[in-house]
Amino acid sequence: MESRRFFHIFVAILSILFCSQTAATAFAAAVNKTSAAAAATPIVPAVILFGDSIVDPGNNNGIKTIVKCNFPPYGKDFIGHVPTGRFCNGRIPGDFIASSLGVKDTVPAYVGQNLKDEELLTGVSFASGASGYDPMTPAITSTISMPDQLGLFSQYKDKLRAIAGDAGADNIISESLFVVCAGSDDLANTYFIAPFRQAHYDIPSYVNLLVNSASDFIQKLHQMGARKIAYVGLPPIGCLPSQRTLGGGALRECVSTRNEAAALYNSKIAAELKRLGTNFEGTKLIYLDIYTIILDLVQRPSFYGFEVSNKGCCGTGEIEVSVLCNPKLPICTDDSKYVFWDSYHPTERAYKIIVDNLLQRYLKYLL
């Protein structure tokens, strides 16, 4: 029993770390109409992303970490069926956001890439799977910390200036959409699984640590020129397949304590962003609620055309993620019927639904 618990803890630390047909068709049509209009003329010059595996398109490929997914079956439904380092069977949120805004079809990783000028001009991702706001989170997994992601952004700005000149680079930065998505790994793994933080923090105090760190990140990002910032809240982490396995008992139910912690974080960071927004003149700083849509996907999968929402497509779907979701394992026969691809990350189809929901609700406040 103890060895099995150790195995689960080890696995969790590796984790990366976040209808009726008529209704579904109508919803898709509304978003597609917006996307088609955007495609004619890009709504923003670039999409730039920071955070964890939800928006990491392959930065971890270029660093020394075990948290990778640049191998099959990852990427089986991506362009060319290539495993790029995206923690998914296909495209991820950054790709859908950029394509919906008419910028480009996919957003590349920044680390370890020889990117052409056009790719740099239209945006990149600095996100690193298994990173977070707690400094201990990237330290455990040897991934790119949030402060180090800002350091990469500073390098990126220098490259923009070399390509577009000072005025051109400043305009790109001030008009681009910045997306920040992190925090799931902090709660799901560093706090609830790893034995390092619970002895010193109860849930409210740990949430405060995360909120303070996130606030500091946003303030520094603003100081570096960002003026349109979409801040992604936390999902109901207790309903992720891996968390159900590790904390949901024999029936693998959603873990209410973990969901409540995520909800507490969301309420506090939303209030902090509102406070910061009043001090950031000429800035659009918007909180994006993903908790609601993901919980709905989990609780009412059939409404969206899914059949399975309590486990992933890869392997047993209960614990496999990153190196444990590998070519030696079987996968489900139809991943379009699954909300989750592995034990932590949604499928491409689920991501598309999530992003469409967010754009429909929040895009007007960011432009």
Q: Which of 134, 342, 343, 356 is catalytic?
A: 342
Residues 335/313, Cβ–Cβ less than 8 Å: yes
Residue 219 to residues 84, 147, 150, 311, 365: CA-CA distances in angstroms?
31, 12, 11, 37, 19
3-state secondary structure at position 285: strand
SS3 16: coil
**In a 10 Å sphere around its CB, with 0-12 CB exposed, 13-18 middle and 19+ buried, how is residue 114 labelled?**
exposed
Paired residues of 51 in beta bridges: 181
Is position 53 annotated as part of the catalytic site?
A: yes
Q: Are 137 and 194 in contact (CB under 8 A)?
A: no
Structure tokens belonging to residue 22 = 């008529």
> Catalytic pick from 128, 242, 322, 345?
345
Catalytic residue status for 342? yes
Strand partners, 286: 230
First to last CA, the chain: 54
Residue pair 38/102 in contact (Cβ under 8 Å)? The answer is yes
Given the residues 53, 99, 100, 242, select the one marked as catalytic.
53
State the catalytic residues. Answer: 53, 342, 345
